[in-house]
Structure 1
Amino acid sequence: MKYCAFLRGVNVKGTNMKMADVCQVFKDAGMKEVSSVLASGNIVFSSDENAEKLKTILEKAMSEQFAYEAFLFVKSQEETVRFWSSIPFEKREDAHIYAFVGVPGIQNTLMEEFQKASQTENEKAAIVDTIFYWQVPKGNTLESSFGKVLGKKSLKDQFTSRNVNTFEKVLKKMN
């Protein structure tokens, strides 16, 4: 089965790694057809194992190889298609749209945090099925009230986010 591992916190805040090295860790852990998509920690691969077991294997391998506490979320090709095909907002030149990959139920926590935060004009959030989407005007991602919430240490092992365009690139690599 084809999967994508979405790594949290890669190539930000001092956790720097080459994607070729990350791919090698995946290969050494028994994954097949391994390749990376962008430098933000999106690894496409094949395995006969289930996603839950893969998460455990790969987090341990990454933590050992790179001496950091690795967090990643493994999604099947079918699940990855849903992230791309369920986008609830119309694409705009002046906004980014992010989708959040995480533990079960994280979409509800994120929506609660979004509703508590002050929003800028044209900033929106929606849940489609179990996927949380956030639209934010370009240039406001890190400065927005909600953007600051996303950096909370208490949430670091709960989710990671990607610009929705990344899902399109991941799916092209999976095909």
Structure 2
Amino acid sequence: MSGYAVFLRGINVGGINIRMADLRDALTSCGFADVKTLLASGNVVLTSEQGAAAVKQQIEECLRTSFGYDAWVVVLAAGRVAELVEACPYPEDDRETHTYITLASDAAMLDELDAAGAALEGSEQKRLGPEALAWLAPAGGTLDSPFSKISSKARFKATTTTRNLRTLIKVRDAAAALS
């Protein structure tokens, strides 16, 4: 059994509301073990005998069937979440800025997002790997930041999701407990 972190895109915003207990029950009924949800924004750790690609496919099918929406997730091995947190050069907590990590299931789409962000004046970002890009936003102005506006475009919807660094640290710690 391998431990995974699963990041759901777009739940509990925009009319797609899923209770975490219902999410946990659905994933358990779809054959996953040790399912634990974190926060109410679609962060899950679980174990499976399958590889990450198969876990992604099975979870998306499970969510579509159980909750009736077009589900997209990013799945990372538990150890990879720890590596990404460690690789992030930005602070966990800062009064002036917030640190975010955009996770992707498609490296080419993240390449495109990375290039678009790099072209922005004053943008501060760092590629952490083929599946992750760390970036900063001013405190209190995340949704209005130029990078946030680019990353929220529809073309990235099916392949990316963003979490703040504090959330990734909580997911890392929960995923470590699976081992």
Alignment TM class, shorter chain as reference: over 0.9
Q: Does 1:96 align with 2:95?
A: no
> TM-score normalised to the size of structure 2?
0.90
Amino acid at match of 1:173: A
Q: 2-side partners of 1:112 and 1:10: how far apart? A: 27
Residue in structure 2 matched with residue 76 of structure 1 by the alignment: 77
Corresponding residue for 1:160?
Answer: 161
Instruction: Answer yes or no: is the 8 Å Cα contact 1:118–1:145 preserved in 2.
Output: no
Please tell me the residue identity of whatever aligns with 2:120: A
Contact 1:88 1:128 in 2 (8 A): no
Give the whole-Å Cα distance in 2 for the aligned partners of 1:50 and 1:129. Answer: 19
Deviates more, 1:149-158 or 1:51-60: 149-158
> Counterpart of 1:141?
142
- The answer to whether the 8 Å contact 1:118/1:146 transfers is no
Are 2:114 and 1:107 equivalent residues in the alignment? no
Distance in 2 (alpha carbons) for counterparts of 1:46 and 1:29: 12
Q: How far off its partner does 1:4 sit? A: 1.0
Query: Percent identity, aligned pairs only?
Result: 28
Distance 1:162 1:133 in 2: 10
* Runs of 4+ that moved beyond 6 A: none
Who is 1:42 aligned against?
A: 43
Return the offset for 1:93: 2.1
Deviations 1:70-102 (A, max 9, x none): 000111111111121111223422211111111
| SS of match in other structure, 1:22 | helix
Q: Report the Cα offset of residue 117 of structure 1.
A: 3.4
Describe the SS at the equivalent of 2:82.
helix
1:66 aligns with 2:67: yes
Q: Which residue of 2 aligns with 1:33?
A: 34
How well do the aligned residues superpose, as a CA RMSD in angstroms?
Answer: 1.4
